[in-house]
Chain A
Amino acid sequence: MTTPKLSIDDKVFKNLDGSGDWGIKGYEKRGGYKGLKKLLKTDPSVHIDQLKGSALRGRGGAGFPTGLKWSFMPKPDGIKPNYLVCNADEGEPGTCKDRDILRYDPHTLVEGMIVGCHCLGAKVGYIYVRGEYYDESSRLNQAIEEARKAGYLGKDIQGTGVDVEIYVHLGAGAYICGEETALLESLEGKKGQPRVKPPFPAGYGLYGCPTTINNVETIAQVPPILKKGNDWWCQFGRENNHGTKIFSVSGAVNLPGNFEAPMSISLKELIDEYAGGVIGGWDNLQAVIPGGSSTPMLSAANCNTAVMDFDGLRDLGTGLGTAAVIVMNKDTDLLRVMARISHFYKHESCGQCTPCREGVGWVSRLMDRLIAGEGTLEELDQMYDVTKKIEGKTICAFADGAMWPVQGTLKHFRHLFEERIKENMKANG
């Protein structure tokens, strides 16, 4: 069964490929900002209820229902302001969808921030963009400036009485700042170390004020959902996994790229129909990381049937994550990829919690030795044991995300490790 490709009307990001005008004129021509006034005039609770019904789930990796998240926000009490913070600290290996939104279709995010701020009772929204996206953030700033000039931003937007200001805040290089409370710390000018929860940001967020943090894609998807309705949105994807989604397909495919497609599309279709197929053909496929480096790899066999949505991938022992599909064909040194990912987590651990600070480096070093063939078979078990001691013991989910792929690789590709160890033993007599 093939999933029909999205028509241009059904796409949220109509200029994701960068072929059109990224500016406000192009965006308005594509239907942007139309109906904004109506959205701002409608009571936030109506919007939030609709979002709940849309089953929109966060696009940043965790897949938490957005409507539910937004309903946690208290009404502004007049003492502490509410904040909406957009997480554009894209850094999970494989993930680069937000970059293309920022540089090719930034007004989708700007409009989303305006509507989101209205829904959440926030007068100020911050967009935390990873520091390396310097050019992209400059694009975003220009879009914000355009929107302000056109009267979509500022005080009393289009006479609706809604005030919204948006500011871009650049990070400075730390993957962990993609964790929402680390992001808040970083936005407050501190080290990006995740906070202990509870309290959750909806009660105690930025500067101790009620705050909601959402991914770029999620926020940008809100206005189309509210404008076009849940029926339109829910026609895409399976129950509980509705909507459209950007898939970043990278690695060993012929045409890597960011593609907006219906949720619940099959992995095979995504790779073959959108990304030009696996280099060397489908039979040359070795493995796929389906949702960014934190999600365990799928073996080639599983790739045949994998359905790209939250539940489908969960059932296969992995996750949709950020829908960053990294394809490895048989020319790829899979173990080296895994070791590189472990090195990444060692480099990016914030250092706060004991298991992560001490354990992630241990795993990375073990992995380096094992793929060099210097380890022993017992050490394979030991590595698994260490990942189990780290998983679920830390303040944030970083360490879990660092350990799951290791566990997954050990599960599906243990034979590769064993072969390498044995080869080495043979070579050394």
Chain B
Amino acid sequence: MSENNTVTLTVDGKEVTVPAGSSLMDAATASGVEIPRFCFHKRLSVAGNCRMCLVEVEGGPPKPTASCCFPAGNGMVVHTKSPMVKEARKGVMEFLLINHPLDCPICDQAGECDLQDISVSYGSDCSKFGEGKRAVEDKDIGPKIKTVMTRCIHCTRCIRFATEVAGVEEMGATFRGENMSVGTYVENALESELSGNMIDLCPVGALTSKPYAFTGRNWEMVKTNSIDVMDALGSNIEVHSRAGKVMRIVPRENDSVNEEWISDTARFSYDGLYEDRITSPLVKVKSGKLQSIGWKKAIETVLPKLTGKKVIAGLAGDVHSVEDLYSFNAFMKETLETPNVDSRMGGFKLDGEFRPSYIMNSTIEGVDHADAIILVGTNPRLEAPVLNARIRKNVRGRNIPVYMVGAEVDLTYSYGLIGDKPSDLEDLSNGKSAIAKVLKGFNKPMIILGADAISRSDGLAVYKEVEKLSDTIGAIDAHWNGFNILHNKAGLVAALDMGVTPGKGGMDIAKTLKALKAGEVDTLILYGESDAVSAEDLKGAKFTIYIGTHKGTYADMADVVLPAAAYTEKDGWWTNTEGRVQESKAAVHPLLNAKEDWKIFRALSGELGKALPFDSLEALRLKISEDNKPYENIGKVSSAQAWVCVSGKGSLLKSAFANPVTNFYKTNEIMKASQVMTECAKSVAHKQNAMKKVG
């Protein structure tokens, strides 16, 4: 950094050099001084309204300065602990508390409340305030967030989040002066996929989690690092559990992936971990109902169906960890020696041969560097809300253009709609249209192709067309790979990495479905659910084994059901849409008689006399990383590879690209079981109806 790009100043007697444009608060942070704050948040615009961060600047006017919004200048002498500062902050704290209910004993925020924490340093042990306290009516803003508005300190973080990050201008501060009140427009459920983040942002207990209300105290929680699996972004989360039960989920910060946001599905679907769960092995009895049996019995029932000359097919659903997929694949191909394995139940047309063909090569952070974004057949707002927020951030902050070939949807920012048909894509990749010429002008264009667009029957042709487009507009060179697939299923990248695709001569999903219809399958092993295939289409095998977590469609049609562990109940690696492998720790034990998935396959293989070559998770992981280069570097994305054209054929269909997600709150078995998600889905439908009815 050259001299002009930095400023040097003194904070509490210590010299510190910070980038030009830094605030006094940044400078203080850099020099190791923490400044108390309520309204300031590094990922939101600066409001400067809480006045808690006041500091003294020598030579300035004889009054304290708000450090969050005052730019650091060369030679400034800043005091953060002077009598003036202490008095000022004490005053501000007193004002914050005079109308605050001080109801910490019954407040869910207690223990993780900024107001509580900072009042330890700046609060007084008695109040001189002798007037009546203000009471504010609580607002119903939907099933996710509980409001206790009397606690609100008007920092406006929630408003800024909704407006700036989530892109839904639904929160605001109405009335003025001491009557100013934070809320939505005439009591309206918030229609945002990211609204839960306001709970974390709220520095007090005004906005708390509705599902979590009064169920636990922050200090009782055991906190476990985990990875979200509700979409394929791999958002870093912390699972909070108490006495072996998941109590809530909050985000962990990871600038490369989710910054510090998570989607509402990640945050609020955990009640689905305890609804409709399969808690012990089940077997279908004569009445057609499923009855619980012990593991031993269940395995005894299954074994004859897996031996002898049989047509066996295996399908893996949408949400599986790396280890589970590896062991499933090994079990199918090595133990059962069947090539009939597929994990692409949605019809994804690529296999795992060339990794860059099915991952987000620019990486999620690449959005911050791209100079244009071209979306093809994807709706990132519903497929990966946190990624969409990052795109929005760059649209707002860096003014980058976004183009779309796909269904017209509200992305919360404006974009140029090129068309929704494959032919529009063709026009683009031919490089002749006016827009194509503009796209050629970008240095770092980021093409984001939705996984569902390659799952159409013309998926391979779509892929080839986008590959051509990358070439036409120069999206791939030595320094930048702008070819990206956005997945929406947490397990698919790992499945492709692990080769959970048909072996030589094996049946893929389409062929398996056909064979099932024709009654040609003896034993079908269904491992987990997929949103893409209905149970009805999976009927037809002579014997069906379902290995999974939840009752419901697939389990109901199975002859034997084996209970597996949910993502919070096992250590696992998860590979996100960028191909980043991240580790998730077990927060709780598998529910009742459920078992970690890989152990089930290992056990079955042993019973069948062809034991898989690993006895522990460590051994299993060693096998995986030996076979797969990207799995040597956990947490990182793998380095770039030279581009190889994937062979493909077929022609494009005429039909338009569809909106990939139609029911955001219900895309996997956990969400389907979650009552909170049901409420959310209802509230969206209700709001849409209500708005229609007003007219």
Contact = CB atoms under 8 A, between A and B. Distances in A.
Direct contact of A and B (CB under 8 A): yes
Interface stretch (B90-98, B136-144, B344-352, B641-649): B90-98
A393 B49 contact: no
Interface string A332-369: 00000000000000111111111101111110011000
Interface string A262-296: 00000000000000000000000000000000000
B175 interface: yes
A198 interface: yes
A351 B48 contact: no
B19 interface: no
B49 A354 contact: yes
B92 A350 contact: no
Interface residues of A, number: 33
A348 B179 CA distance: 11
Contacts of A393: 51, 54, 63-64, 88, 91-92
Interface in B30-63: 46-52, 54, 61-63
Nearest to B172: A191
Interface string A372-415: 00000001001001001111111100000000000000000000
A362 B49 contact: no
B49 A389 contact: no
Contact of A346 (B62, B128, B177): B177
B693 interface: no
B99 A358 contact: yes
Contacts of B50: 353-354
Contacts of A320: none
B692 interface: no
A349 B52 CA distance: 19
Contacts of A348: 177
Nearest to A346: B177
Interface string A171-198: 0001000000000000000010000101
Given A198-B71, A362-B131, A393-B64, A354 B95 contact: yes
Interface residues of B, number: 38
Interface string B109-149: 00000000000000000001111000000000000000000
Contact of B95 (A347, A350, A359, A385): A359
B41 to A, nearest CB: 15
B177 A355 contact: no
Nearest to B99: A358
B405 to A, nearest CB: 32
Nearest to B177: A349
Contacts of A389: 87-88, 91-92, 94-95
Contact of B69 (A196, A354, A355, A390): A196
Contacts of B71: 198
Nearest to B48: A196
Contact of A354 (B62, B70, B92, B128): B92
B50 to A, nearest CB: 6
Contact of A357 (B52, B70, B94, B177): B177
B476 to A, nearest CB: 34
Contact of B131 (A191, A350, A366): A366
B180 A351 contact: yes
Contacts of A174: 176
A395 B91 CA distance: 15
A351 B179 contact: yes
Nearest to B174: A191
B177 A395 contact: no
Contacts of B175: 351
A207 to B, nearest CB: 16
Contact of B66 (A196, A365, A379): A196
B51 A355 contact: yes
Given A354-B153, A359-B95, A394 B51 contact: yes
A248 B178 CA distance: 31
Contact of A351 (B62, B131, B176): B176
B65 to A, nearest CB: 10
B178 A349 contact: yes
Q: Which of A348, A358, A379: most chain B CB closer than 10 A?
A: A358
B510 interface: no
Given A365-B131, A389-B91, A395 B96 contact: no
A191 B176 contact: yes
Given A354-B95, A393-B63, A349 B176 contact: yes
B173 interface: yes
Contacts of B129: 362
B10 to A, nearest CB: 20
B154 interface: yes
Contacts of B52: 354
Contacts of A349: 176-178
B154 to A, nearest CB: 7
B66 A355 contact: no
Q: Which of A348, A379, A388, A392: most chain B CB closer than 10 A?
A: A392
B329 to A, nearest CB: 56
Q: Which of A174, A196, A348, A390: most chain B CB closer than 10 A?
A: A196
A361 B49 contact: no
Contacts of A357: 95, 154, 177-178, 180
B96 A358 contact: yes
A148 to B, nearest CB: 36
A47 B70 CA distance: 33
A217 B219 CA distance: 62
A361 B51 contact: no
A389 B62 CA distance: 14
Interface string B63-103: 11010011100000000000000011001101110110000
Contacts of A346: 177-178
A345 to B, nearest CB: 9
Q: Which of B62, B92, B129, B178: most chain A CB closer than 10 A?
A: B178
Nearest to A365: B131
Contacts of A351: 154, 173, 175-180
Contacts of B99: 358
Nearest to A395: B48
A34 to B, nearest CB: 43
B98 A352 contact: no
A8 B130 CA distance: 56
Contacts of A191: 173, 176
A347 B177 CA distance: 7
Contacts of B178: 346, 349, 351, 357-358, 360-361
A334 B159 CA distance: 42
A392 B95 contact: no
A354 B177 contact: no
Contact of B51 (A353, A362, A379, A391): A353
Contact of B177 (A361, A366, A390): A361
Contacts of A360: 177-178
B202 to A, nearest CB: 16
B64 to A, nearest CB: 7
Interface in A155-179: 174
A294 to B, nearest CB: 16
Contact of A355 (B46, B61, B92, B131): B92
A25 to B, nearest CB: 43
A360 to B, nearest CB: 7
Contacts of A385: 128
Given A351-B176, A354-B92, A379-B130, 15 more contacts: A196-B48, A196-B69, A346-B177, A350-B177, A352-B49, A354-B50, A354-B154, A358-B178, A361-B178, A382-B128, A389-B88, A389-B94, A390-B91, A391-B63, A393-B63
25 contacts: A196-B48, A198-B70, A346-B177, A349-B176, A349-B178, A350-B176, A351-B178, A351-B179, A353-B49, A354-B92, A354-B95, A354-B154, A355-B92, A357-B177, A362-B129, A365-B131, A382-B128, A389-B88, A389-B91, A389-B95, A393-B51, A393-B63, A393-B64, A395-B48, A395-B66
Interface of B: 46-52, 54, 61-64, 66, 69-71, 87-88, 91-92, 94-96, 98-99, 128-131, 153-154, 173, 175-180
Give the top 8 A-B pairs by smallest Cβ distance, nearest first.
A392-B63, A389-B91, A351-B180, A358-B95, A349-B177, A196-B48, A361-B178, A196-B69
